[in-house]
């Protein structure tokens, strides 16, 4: 048994490919837990960042600077009355949030956090991701229909039309990136998520810079389409608050509603990681060609630790700025403790064996975080599209450009 | 003016497009509890998919019988009630009422009182437009301008609070002038505000005016022609955005508006974007008026001689002012007693709301929200 467990450690592959059930389960638990924590962190960050965009403070009461707000929210949602409308189709109403949740969490199977840090690597990885993530539209439609109410119905109709339209432009952009993977000696491309990043490593260029500006445009199209795909502002028509009160989840409350939210945020992270994998070099560190040599390798390997130390410093600045009043004593201690934990993590990340293993994950997460920030930024800046304009943008603007980029990429690939 | 029945022709409910996919029409209730109906407006929408075939407004959820209350109050006692109609422009309401009763009593407010009135009314117009902009943008999906406008509106409310103790329902004026002399530093506060707010207005415009999505959401949305406006009695920025240069401050000057130099912004297309631009320009023109007023404010009494017990002569009077939302008129019938025989208010929001149907017919659900926002209705005033 112990041999079975330790035998994987010497293998240089993902646990799924190694067929090691124990490590697969461990990875699944780590990924599931990590994503859940990331969703909670994202929830807090969105509320704080959005608040600061809008000259507010955001959550400040639960814990220092509202750090415990996601936990308080979760407790509130768990203990809330779970309402199923009497006219609703109970079974479908019950299943819909689960479908969304499953669809958005299943895609994490193939997301490569590092060359071996994935649950498994499928040879059709990207197809699997696009296919499974678009299953969530089913949950949206079911939720809207089962609620047996007008606003959710309109919301879910909008949502299905929107997700299907934007998937096409998204697919075209993805194909242009996949074409780029075939630009090697053998001329065979790959659909495997790990393979796509390795192709970027071999060609020594992130695909966003490949055939400039083709890769860049493709990433732009994907970045727009993925916002529409995850129903976020400015494409948040299915849940347009000012028009449809809450769109397809108007009738949902408590735990079921929180499952929708969990699914939505998980889907945001998932599609962002597709973008990172396809165009931004996945787990590869920046400037691998220009800033080479052992010194730079060391500098880049120390960055994860330093970034955590910076976060810790941030927390300690907060501690210093806390009001000196007995009322805030617990909050101050809590914030100091949080900073200490962050600092400790930072120090642990300096230990050489940890340092080498964590680096891939760090860069991947950092790149995804940039996209997460952009999501918040868009939400604070843009008004909402109208339904027909949304369709127009999808079909008349994004799709032709995506096809053009695809054709040009193919031509460039043949020429080069 | 066009034939008053002419506009009825396109009020008939259009037939939905019949195709083999044709489904049943959907009737949905928007409101009275809805985030974008600005209070308790209930709109019954008849939809074909997302397309609006017809609307019907159901009002009265905020009816408090203000006009009836007036018949049982003395002229002075009724004054605070008018603040509760258009509660975001309470000062304008008070001004209209006070001037109407003054006309009935045949008294003239002293010059200083008029200047104070103009400054406060124009500040209130700015506050009302800021609130409109924030909520309108929020309806269209831009969250951030709401907080910016509320931040700046706060400065106006602070001036009101310092002047008369109240922020929203100010009851700032009395029949015959003003009750309160300006506080020490009033002029400094107003001047500080005049320097503070123009860059903020530019900031709102930066967020919206050239924003692609904002343009798409507002251009050619909720179009209404000048003829339709006149036929329906629509006034205020909605009328001006359709190209009619009609502003009671210029057309029938009241208070001492004739002493000030300002422009009336007008639009061309009568769409939501033009109404937005007209209101943005109106904010700047208000600042111009305030600047002139605060520089020229004379010394002197602030209250005219009015009898303690007001018994206006038998007669009737109609007096209207340019409230932020349009023509606000008071029709007061006096039977010679201390209480009005009848007070009829012509609220701009109520009349402007009638245009909702022809503005949104054939448009999409999202446009209904945009048009309700652009009409700038306050349900307290619609229902009274």
From chain B residues 122-181, the ones with a CB under 8 A of any chain A CB are: 137-144, 146-148, 151
Closest-CA residue of chain B to A235: B141
Residue A250: closest CA among chain B residues belongs to which residue? Answer: B34
Radius of gyration of chain A (CA): 23
Q: Quote the CA–CA distance of A357 and A21 in Å, as a whole number.
A: 21
Most B-contacting residue of A148, A228, A242 (CB-CB within 10 A), to test interface? A242
Question: How many angstroms separate the Cα of B204 from the Cα of each of A27, B143, B144, B382?
Answer: 49, 12, 9, 28
3-state secondary structure of B342: strand
Number of domains into which chain A is organized: 1
**Considering only residues 55 to 74 of chain B, which have any Cβ-Cβ distance to chain A shorter than 8 Å?**
none
Q: Cα(B137)–Cα(A241) distance, rounded to whole angstroms? A: 13
* B1 lies in some domain: no
Question: Does any domain span residue A253?
Answer: yes
Residue of A nearest to B32 (CA): A245
Task: Give the Cα-Cα-Cα angle A197, A199, A202 (nearest 5 degrees).
Answer: 115
A243 in reach of chain B (CB within 8 A): yes
Residue B78: other Cβ atoms inside 10 A: 22
Strands B177-178 and B42-48: unpaired
Same domain, B70 and B21: no
Decide: B54 and B316 in contact? Cβ < 8 Å: no
Which pLDDT belongs to residue B24? 65
In a domain, B209, yes or no: yes
Q: Is residue A339 part of a domain?
A: no
Instruction: Pull the structure tokens for residue B222.
Output: 């909720």
Q: Which domain holds residue A386?
A: 19-284+351-415
Contact across the interface for B366 and A379, Cβ inside 8 Å: no
Q: Which phi and psi (to 5°) does residue A148 adopt?
A: 55, 50
Judged by a CB distance cut-off of 8 A, whether residue B213 touches chain A is yes
Q: Which among B141, B148, B367 has CB closest to A233?
A: B141
Q: Do B137 and A383 touch (CB under 8 A)?
A: yes
Residue A317 lies in a domain: no
Residues of A in contact with B143 (CB under 8 A): 50, 54, 379-380
Q: Can you tell me which residue has the tokens 């396109």?
A: B10
CA gap A196, A173 in Å, rounded: 14
Q: What share of chain A is helix, strand, coil (3-state, %, to 5)?
A: 75, 0, 25
Mark residue B176 as left, alpha or beta (left: phi above 0; alpha: psi -120 to 50; beta: remaining).
Answer: left
Q: pLDDT per residue over B70-92, tens digit each? A: 888 888 888 888 888 888 888 98
**How far apart are alpha carbons B137 and B150 in whole angstroms?**
12
pLDDT in tens, B88-133: 888 989 899 999 999 888 888 888 899 988 999 999 999 999 999 9
Whether this model's ipTM surpasses 0.90 comes out as no
Find, in chain B, the residue whose alpha carbon is nearest to that of A155.
B50
Number of domains in chain B: 2
Cβ of residue B211 closer than 8 Å to a chain A Cβ:
yes
Q: Closest residue of B to A56, CA-based?
A: B147
Using pLDDT thresholds of 50, 70 and 90, give the confidence band for residue B8: very low
Q: Measured between CB atoms, does A202 come within 8 Å of chain B? A: no
Name which of B141, B144, B366 is nearest A53 (Cβ-Cβ): B144
Q: Where are the alpha helices (DSSP H) in A122-253?
A: 125-133, 136-146, 150-181, 193-203, 214-229, 241-244
Q: Which residues of B touch A240 (CB under 8 A)?
A: 141, 366
Which residues in chain A have their CB less than 8 angstroms from residue B133's CB? none
For A81-90, A304-313, B15-24, B374-383, which range has the lowest pLDDT when averaged over its residues?
B15-24
Distance (Å) from the alpha carbon of B16 to chain A's nearest alpha carbon: 18
Selecting from A243, A380, A388 the residue whose C-beta is nearest the C-beta of B144 gives: A380
Helix axes A214-229 and A150-181, enclosed angle (nearest 10) = 160
Chain A residue with the nearest C-alpha to that of B34: A245
- Residues in chain B with CB shorter than 8 Å from the CB of A380 are 143-144
Q: Looking at the structure, tell me whether residues B245 and B176 fall in a common domain.
A: yes
Judge: B28–A150 Cβ closer than 8 Å, yes or no.
yes
SS (H, E, C) B152-209: HHHHHHHHHHHHHCCCCCCCCEECCEECCCCCCCHHHHHHHHHHHHHHHHHHHHHHHC
The boundaries of the domain holding residue B23 are 6-58
Its sign, for the CA torsion B90, B95, B100, B104, is: positive
The pLDDT tens digits for B209-232 are 888 888 888 888 888 888 888 888
Q: Which DSSP category does A184 fall into?
A: S
How far is residue B310 from each of residues A249, A375, B176, B316, B320, measured CA to CA in Å?
Answer: 58, 63, 11, 15, 21
Q: Would you call B141 and A236 a contact, using CB atoms and an 8 Å cutoff?
A: yes
Quick one: B101 and B206 in the same domain? yes
First to last CA, chain B: 29
Cα dihedral A347, A321, A43, A162 in deg (nearest 10):
-110
Asked if the C-beta of B369 comes within 8 angstroms of chain A's C-beta atoms, the answer is: yes
Nearest-angstrom CA–CA distance, A362 and A373: 16
CB contact under 8 A, A56 and B147: yes
Residues of B in contact with A237 (CB under 8 A): 366
User: Same domain, yes or no, for B25 and B164?
Assistant: no
SS3 call for A407: helix
Q: Nearest CA of chain A to the CA of B351: how many Å?
A: 24
Q: How far is CA B185 from CA A215, A401, B162, B193, B303, in A?
A: 61, 60, 10, 12, 21
Under 8 Å between Cβ of B331 and B340: no
- Establish, for the pair of chains A and B, how many residue pairs have beta carbons separated by less than 8 Å: 86
Has residue A8 been placed in a domain? no
- Boundary (domain end) residue, out of B21, B41, B58: B58
- Closest partner residue to A242 among B36, B148, B213, by Cβ? B36
How far, in Å, CA of B264 to CA of B262, rounded?
Answer: 7
What average pLDDT values come out for chain A (416 residues) when binned by 10 residues? 73 73 84 87 89 88 84 87 82 88 87 82 85 84 84 82 85 87 78 84 82 86 88 76 73 84 87 88 80 79 86 88 84 88 87 80 88 89 85 88 89 82
Same domain, B52 and B74: no
> Which of A54, A154, A386 lies closest to B144 in CB terms?
A54
Q: What is the pLDDT of residue B14?
A: 53
Tell me which chain A residue has its CA closest to the CA of residue B368.
Answer: A243
Helix or strand holding residue B148 (H, E): helix B144-164
Question: Is residue A340 a part of any domain in this protein?
Answer: no
Check A54 against B216: CB less than 8 A apart: no
Structure tokens that stand for A33 in this block:
């837990």
Beta strands in B49-86 (DSSP E): 51-58
Write down the mean pLDDT value for chain B: 85
CB contact A389 to B (< 8 Å): yes
Closest Cβ–Cβ partner in B35, B217, B365 for A241: B35
pLDDT of residue A384: 86
pLDDT of residue B4: 47
Backbone angles phi, psi at A83, to 5 degrees: -100, 130
In sequence order, what DSSP letters do the residues of B262-274 get, joined into one string? ------SS-SHHH
Instruction: For chain B, say whether A381 makes contact (Cβ under 8 Å).
Output: yes
Q: Is A82 on the interface with B (CB under 8 A)?
A: no
Least Cα distance to A268 among A45, A25, A27 occurs for A45
Considering the domain architecture, whether residues B255 and B136 belong to the same structural domain is answered as: yes
Tell me if B366 and A387 make a contact (CB, 8 A cut-off): yes
**DSSP class of residue A395?**
I
In this predicted structure, the answer to whether residue B39 has a pLDDT above a threshold of 80 is no
| Residues B50 and B85 grouped into a single domain | no
CA distance B21 to B58: 31
- Show residues of chain B in contact with A150, CB under 8 Å: 26, 28-29
B312 in the same domain as B272: yes
CATH assignment at residue B313: 1.10.645.10
> Is some CB atom of chain A closer than 8 A to the CB atom of B36?
yes
Is the CB of B147 less than 8 angstroms away from the CB of A55?
yes
- pLDDT digits over B153-193, tens only? 999 999 999 988 888 888 888 888 888 888 888 888 889 99
The pLDDT assigned to B1 comes to: 42
Task: Identify which of B183, B195, B112, B118 has the alpha carbon closest to the alpha carbon of residue B155.
Answer: B195
B141 interaction partners in chain A (CB closer than 8 Å) = 233-234, 236, 240, 242, 382-385
Residues of A in contact with B151 (CB under 8 A): 55
Are B131 and B104 found together in one domain?
yes
Closest approach of B37 to chain A, Cα-based (Å): 9
pTM for this prediction: 0.83
Cβ-defined contact of A387 to B50 (cutoff 8 Å): yes
Residue B208 and residue B129 in one domain: yes
Same domain assignment for residues B37 and B124: no
CB atoms within 10 A of CB A72: 14
Q: Specify whether the CB–CB gap between B163 and B95 falls below 8 A.
A: no
Rounded percentage of chain B residues whose pLDDT exceeds 90 = 8
User: Does residue A10 fall inside a structural domain?
Assistant: no
- pLDDT at residue B10 is higher than 60: no
Residue B168: CB atoms within 10 A of its CB come to 13
| Tokens encoding A26 | 């461990």
**Shortest Cα–Cα distance, B215 to chain A (Å):** 10
Give a yes or no: residue B176 inside a domain: yes
In a domain, A341, yes or no: no
A326 and B CB contact within 8 Å = no
**C-alpha to C-alpha distance for A221 and A353, rounded to whole angstroms:** 39
Helices H / strands E in chain A, number of each:
17, 0
Transcribe B14-52 into DSSP letters.
PPPPP-TT----EEEEE-SS-TTSTTT-EEEEEEETTEE
Listed in sequence order, the residues at least 6 apart from A405 whose beta carbon sits closer than 8 Å to its beta carbon are: A172, A173, A176, A214, A217, A218, A221
pLDDT at B331: 92
What pLDDT, on the 0 to 100 scale, is given for residue B48? 78
Same domain flag for B53 and B83? no
For residue A335, the distance in angstroms to the closest alpha carbon of chain B comes to: 29
Distant-in-sequence, close-in-space partners of B185: CB < 8 Å, separation ≥ 6: none
For B294-346, the pLDDT digits (tens) are: 888 888 888 888 888 888 888 888 998 988 888 899 999 988 888 889 899 98
In a domain, A26, yes or no: yes
Q: Is the confidence at residue B11, as pLDDT, over 50?
A: no
């Amino acid at each position: 048994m112990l041999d079975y467990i330790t035998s994987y450690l010497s293998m240089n592959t993902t646990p799924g490919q190694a067929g090691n059930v124990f490590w697969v389960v461990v990875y699944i638990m780590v990924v599931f837990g990590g994503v859940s924590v990331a969703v909670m962190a994202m929830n807090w960050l969105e509320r704080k960042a959005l608040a600061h965009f809008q000259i507010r403070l955001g959550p400040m009461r639960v814990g220092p600077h509202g750090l415990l707000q996601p936990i308080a929210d979760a407790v509130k949602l768990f203990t809330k009355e779970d309402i199923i409308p009497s006219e609703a189709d109970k079974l479908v109403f019950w299943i819909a949030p689960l479908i969304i949740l499953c669809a958005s969490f299943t895609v994490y199977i193939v997301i490569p956090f590092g060359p071996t840090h994935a649950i498994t690597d499928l040879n059709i990885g990207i197809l699997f991701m696009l296919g499974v993530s678009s299953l969530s539209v089913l949950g949206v439609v079911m939720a809207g229909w089962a609620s047996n109410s007008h606003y959710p119905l309109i919301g879910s109709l909008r949502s299905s039309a929107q997700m299907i339209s934007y998937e096409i432009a998204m697919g075209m952009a993805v194909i242009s990136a996949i074409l780029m993977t075939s630009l090697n000696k053998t001329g065979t491309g790959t659909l495997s998520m790990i393979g796509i990043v390795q192709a970027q490593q071999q060609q020594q260029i992130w695909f966003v810079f490949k055939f400039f500006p083709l890769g860049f445009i493709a990433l732009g199209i994907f970045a727009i389409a993925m916002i529409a795909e995850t129903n976020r502002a400015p494409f948040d028509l299915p849940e347009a608050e000012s028009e449809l009160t809450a769109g397809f989840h108007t009738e949902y409350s408590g735990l079921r509603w929180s499952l929708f939210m969990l699914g939505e945020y998980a889907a945001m992270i998932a599609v962002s990681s597709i973008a990172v994998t396809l165009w931004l070099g996945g787990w590869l560190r920046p400037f691998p060609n220009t800033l080479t040599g052992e010194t730079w390798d060391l500098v880049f390997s120390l960055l994860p630790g330093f970034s955590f130390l910076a976060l810790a410093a941030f927390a300690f600045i907060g501690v210093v700025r806390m009001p000196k009043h007995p009322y805030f004593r617990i909050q101050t201690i809590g914030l100091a403790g949080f900073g200490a934990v962050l600092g400790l993590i930072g120090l642990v990340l300096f230990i050489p064996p940890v340092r080498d293993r964590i680096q891939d994950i760090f860069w991947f997460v950092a790149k995804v975080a940039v996209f997460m920030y952009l999501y918040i930024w868009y939400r604070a800046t843009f008004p909402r599209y109208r339904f027909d304009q949304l369709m127009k943008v999808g079909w008349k603007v994004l799709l032709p450009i995506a096809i053009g980029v695809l054709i040009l990429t193919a031509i460039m690939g043949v020429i080069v | 003016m066009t034939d008053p029945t002419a506009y009825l022709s396109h009020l008939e409910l259009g037939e939905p497009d019949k195709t083999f996919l044709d489904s049943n029409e959907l009737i949905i209730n928007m409101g009275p509890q809805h985030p974008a109906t600005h209070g308790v407006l209930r709109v019954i929408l008849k939809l074909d998919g997302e397309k609006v075939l017809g609307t019907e407004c159901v009002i009265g959820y905020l009816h408090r019988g203000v006009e009836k209350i007036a018949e049982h109050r003395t002229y002075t006692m009724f004054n605070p009630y008018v603040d509760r109609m258009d509660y975001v422009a309470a000062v304008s309401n008070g001004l209209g009422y006070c001037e109407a009763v003054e006309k009935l009593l045949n008294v003239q407010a002293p010059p200083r009182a008029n200047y104070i009135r103009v400054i406060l009314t124009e500040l209130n117009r700015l506050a009302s437009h800021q609130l409109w902009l924030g909520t309108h943008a929020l309806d269209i999906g831009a969250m951030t301008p709401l907080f910016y406008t509320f931040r700046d509106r706060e400065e106006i409310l602070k001036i009101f609070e310092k002047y008369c103790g109240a922020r929203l329902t100010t009851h700032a004026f009395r029949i015959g002038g003003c009750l309160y002399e300006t506080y020490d530093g009033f002029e400094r506060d107003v001047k500080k505000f005049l320097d503070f707010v123009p860059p903020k207005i530019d900031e709102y415009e930066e967020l919206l005016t050239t924003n692609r999505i904002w343009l798409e959401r507002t251009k050619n949305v909720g179009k209404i022609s000048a003829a339709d406006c006149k036929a329906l009695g629509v006034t205020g920025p909605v009328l001006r955005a359709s190209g009619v240069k009609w502003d009671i401050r210029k057309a029938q000057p009241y208070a001492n508006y004739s002493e000030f130099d300002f422009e009336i912004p007008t639009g061309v297309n009568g769409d939501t974007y033009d109404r937005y631009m007209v209101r943005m320009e109106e904010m700047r023109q208000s600042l111009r008026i305030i600047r002139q007023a605060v520089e020229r404010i004379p010394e002197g009494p602030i209250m005219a001689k009015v009898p303690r017990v007001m018994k206006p002569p038998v007669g009737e009077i109609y007096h209207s002012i340019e409230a932020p939302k349009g023509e606000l008129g008071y029709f007061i019938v006096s039977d010679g007693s201390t209480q009005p025989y009848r007070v009829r208010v012509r609220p701009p929001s109520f009349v402007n709301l009638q245009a909702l149907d022809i503005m949104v017919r054939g448009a999409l659900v999202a446009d209904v929200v945009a048009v309700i926002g652009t009409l700038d209705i306050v349900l307290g005033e619609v229902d009274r």
